[in-house]
Structure 1
């Protein structure tokens, strides 16, 4: 696992690029919708300790392309995995 400093340096180079992120939680709840912690979007900001996606897409089973109405900041310590290889509009099974 990369240290937070290495992650900060790596992600800073990717600002403006699309990314797919999986976070530590087993599932999350937003507005009554339970979903797996899979997010996609464009890296708009990178700071020590977190990155911000804007626009951020929350991958939910019944709304796989739900665009968050606000930017989404994700702490580095919650990131389990990320990929630059999966486009935000890619369809894949979430169940």
Structure 2
């Protein structure tokens, strides 16, 4: 079973996704690549989360306004059934 098939089992459920980048930059804010949201689509190369909560140190509950797509090969960790209300340290 490949990653695409495994992730497809979690459609419409909230998951936590971490990417292999050390950090990302969005609108001048540097953050660790940790995203939480309902998995809305799984294709051969990408997953889509919508709506997405981005876990940033200075805004830990930032809700991104549009769906985000992530390439499967950049995902290093995913945790199914993870609530976006879960609080955890980012430092």
Q: How many residues align?
A: 91
- Give 1:91's aligned residue: 87
Partner deviation per Cα, 1:39-82 (whole Å, 9 max, x = no partner)? 00000111101100000110001111111111000000000001
Q: Flag the structure with higher strand content.
A: 1
- Give 1:38's aligned residue: 34
The structure 1 segments of at least 4 consecutive aligned residues displaced by more than 2 Å after TM superposition are none
Q: Which runs of 5+ in 2 are unaligned?
A: none
Whether 2:61 is the aligned partner of 1:65: answer yes
What TM-score results when the alignment is normalised by the length of structure 2? 0.95
Cα distance in structure 1, aligned partners of 2:55 and 2:77 = 15
Q: CA deviation at 1:86?
A: 3.0
RMSD (Å), alpha carbons: 1.1
Q: CA deviation at 1:88?
A: 1.0
Q: CA deviation at 1:36?
A: 0.3
